[in-house]
Amino acid sequence: MEPQANAAIYLASESPRRRELLDQLGVRYDIVSQDVDEVLEPGESPEVFVLRLALEKARAGLANSPGDRPVLGADTVVVLDEEVLGKPDDEGEALDMLERLSGQCHRVLTGVALVSDENEATRLSVSHVTFRTLAPEEREAYWASGEPVGKAGAYAIQGRGGVFVEHLDGSYSGVMGLPLFETGDLLGEFGVDYLSGWRHS
């Protein structure tokens, strides 16, 4: 990705969904690399886990940047009965996740962190998502589409997986991977003026 003129922040993520949501918010950014081990620690709650990863990603991004502007990090997890459902390793794991989510309400947690040389802050978005009952052939066809690969909980609400969602109580952008309300709140706290771009769009 080419550097953006007058970029206000760095984004410590390669996620196209997070880039799309930042573009929607009107924030200019550059991508910065980060490498964080996404492992749940013993006894760690899903809320603490997702906020820790977001902060670690932002800190790692700051370490790989010139330090001239804040770095935004984020992490999203799907939680069913207090168990974190990560990204499926293979077809069997994805189909098992989708079967477990079928007809159930689960939580989607997204932690967002913004860090600079002088400050760091985090926000947590919590959404409740209810799936309708999924037939085996639906789950298999969804896997065959390729969309569950690399997605927490083996689905993407902004893609074909949206047809499974019977009800959403919370943040659509948060379930996508970057809650705009919490992100805007953090940017405001750090003095990042994303509103100026709206006047020229």
Catalytic residue among 23, 30, 35, 75: 75
Token reading at 74: 């984020």
Among candidate residues 34, 35, 75, 28, the one with its CA nearest the CA of residue 51 = 75
Pairwise CA distance, residues 52 & 96, whole Å: 27
Pairwise CA distance, residues 194 & 187, whole Å: 8
* The Cα angle at residue 42 between residues 37 and 45, in degrees rounded to 5: 90
Q: How many CB atoms lie within 10 A of CB 67?
A: 12
Is 75 part of the annotated catalytic residue set?
Answer: yes
Token reading at 82: 């207090």
Q: What are phi and psi of 44, to 5 degrees?
A: -80, 130
Cα–Cα distances in Å, from 201 out to 27, 183, 198?
12, 20, 5
Active site residues: 75
